[in-house]
Structure 1
Amino acid sequence: MAASVEIALVGGSADGQHVTVELDPNDRPPLTHHHVGPGGLAEADIYELESVDADARTWCYRWRGPAV
């Protein structure tokens, strides 16, 4: 079973929420997260991974804009 981590969403419509993602074989989360809106993928927001503290291996997903 792959390891997972909870990451905060910063900005956009999901600001303050958290998502749980699986880590890759190098113990890193996915580079982006698509947060699906009430209208499905047509209203999704794109969040991009940022390092909060490289030594502590903590991250956040920062809002970059709508997926469309």
Structure 2
Amino acid sequence: MEVTTEIPLVGGAGDGGAVIVDLDVHGRPPLTHHHLIDDGLARAEIYELEAVLGEGPPWLYRWRGPAPS
């Protein structure tokens, strides 16, 4: 079983990029990803995991907004 996977980012500052995340013992990625802007948590954006049906990667992270400050 894979221990990491690459998941595309949709929307926000990371749109069009991707992140590599660790999978849990059941082969699933984290439910959220905090995308850091300027290497700081103060301007992080929150992305939420979504399942994708059909061909291609089984998941994507969709932008949900800035992290609360």
TM-score, structure 1 normalization? 0.88
**Identity over aligned residues, as a percent?**
57
Secondary structure at the counterpart of residue 50 of structure 1: strand
Unaligned runs of 5+ in 2: none
Q: How many residues align?
A: 67
1-structure distance, mates of 2:24, 2:50: 16
Structure richer in strand, relative to its length: 1
CA-based RMSD: 2.0
Unaligned runs of 5+ in 1: none
Shift in Å, 1:53 = 2.2
Shift in Å, 1:27 = 0.4
TM-score, structure 2 normalization? 0.87
Shift in Å, 1:38 = 1.0
Secondary structure at the counterpart of residue 53 of structure 1: coil
